[in-house]
Amino acid sequence: MRWTERQQGMLREMGLRVWAPGEAAAPEPVIARVPPPAGSPPLPAPGPAPAPAQAPAPEAPRASPVAGLGWPELRAAVAACRACGLCESRKQTVFGVGHESAHWMIVGEAPGEQEDLQGEPFVGAAGRLLDRMLLALGLTREPAEPARQVFIANTLKCRPPRNRNPEPDELLKCQPFLERQVELVQPRVILAMGRFAIQSLLDSTEPVGRLRGRVHQWRGRPLIVTYHPAYLLRNPVDKARAWADLCLAAQTAEQMAAQHQG
Ligand code: URA
């Protein structure tokens, strides 16, 4: 596969080194030889390494328990999940809402009190702001065609008690659900809102401010980072930046649509 200059730049930003056909192989890493401390027994003369008695079996990649699930099975798996302690305090799980083939997928953090009660993401104050932001782009969570009706999901499907921040272990346990949702929706653009969505999808702890303003990739799909609506309610001065992020996402979705047609 050949990468464009822009894609290579993006991959470099993400710390990935990409080998391209025809490119010389990366040089062998130089391993510094540290002299043994005085008085230690002499090192054996270099020679062929003895064969290990029993080569350890390579660890097979662990398949996610939700890999391959369809929508009904995935919904049932989320509803029945008891993988972390949040199942003890939740009223119900909050799966997500919207078009199952939406062009836009919005990823937030975790259900709050209202979401836990109503079983739908972003129904509180932050949700009202999100709805207005979507409306400004001609998008909605209400039934519409896939170009207009988004799919909204959270990184965590259960409410953390007193709306505390998600724990790393909780994010990890819930991540396969979100990943499967993205795989099923196959969105043309993903909007990751806030640091926990970024942590789950980009595996990065960089702050939003360092990651916004460019197009990232999640398994080959464009992903745009922006501020969480709850943050914007506390810091309205950053709304202009969030709007710029949404415009970048809209532009990216348009480019993807053109590719689908071309
Ligand atoms: N904040 C989120 O990230 N998600 C919700 O569902 C509600 C508030």
Q: Is residue 6 part of a domain?
A: no
Residue 37 pLDDT greater than 70, yes or no: no
Percent of the chain surpassing pLDDT 70: 76
Question: Does the Cβ of 200 fall within 6 Å of ligand 1?
Answer: no
Distance separating alpha carbons of residues 111 and 119, to the nearest angstrom: 8
pLDDT tens readout for residues 174-183: 999 999 999 9
Q: Is residue 33 part of a domain?
A: no
Question: Does the Cβ of 111 fall within 6 Å of ligand 1?
Answer: yes
Q: Is residue 40 part of a domain?
A: no
Distance separating alpha carbons of residues 249 and 254, to the nearest angstrom: 9
Rounded distance from Cα 108 to ligand 1 centre (Å):
6
Question: Does the Cβ of 96 fall within 6 Å of ligand 1?
Answer: no
Domain count of the fold of the chain: 1
CATH code where residue 187 lies: 3.40.470.10
Of 248, 253, 257, which Cα lies nearest the Cα of 225?
Answer: 248
Q: What is the predicted pLDDT for the residue at 261?
A: 84
Of 204, 146, 154, 144, which Cα lies nearest the Cα of 181?
Answer: 154
Q: Please, which residues have CB within 8 angstroms of residue 95's CB and are 6 or more apart in sequence?
A: 75, 78, 79, 119, 153, 157
3-state helix, strand, coil in the chain (%, to 5): 40, 10, 50
Token representation of residue 199: 């942590």
pLDDT tens readout for residues 104-147: 999 999 999 999 999 999 999 999 999 999 999 999 999 999 99
Q: Are 178 and 66 in contact (CB under 8 A)?
A: no
Q: Is residue 111 part of a domain?
A: yes
Q: Is residue 248 part of a domain?
A: yes
Task: Kindly tell me the number of DSSP H helices and DSSP E strands found in the chain.
Answer: 10, 6
Q: Is residue 122 part of a domain?
A: yes
- Quote the pTM value: 0.77
Rounded distance from Cα 126 to ligand 1 centre (Å):
7
- Which domain range does residue 147 map to? 94-261
Q: What is the predicted pLDDT for the residue at 182?
A: 98
Q: Is residue 22 part of a domain?
A: no
pLDDT tens readout for residues 135-169: 999 999 999 999 999 999 999 999 999 999 999 99
Q: Is residue 87 part of a domain?
A: no
Distance separating alpha carbons of residues 100 and 36, to the nearest angstrom: 62
pLDDT tier, 212 (very low <50, low <70, confident <90, very high otherwise): very high
Residue 203 pLDDT greater than 60, yes or no: yes
Residue 28 pLDDT greater than 90, yes or no: no
Can you tell me the mean pLDDT for 70-94?
98
Of 229, 222, 224, which Cα lies nearest the Cα of 211?
Answer: 224
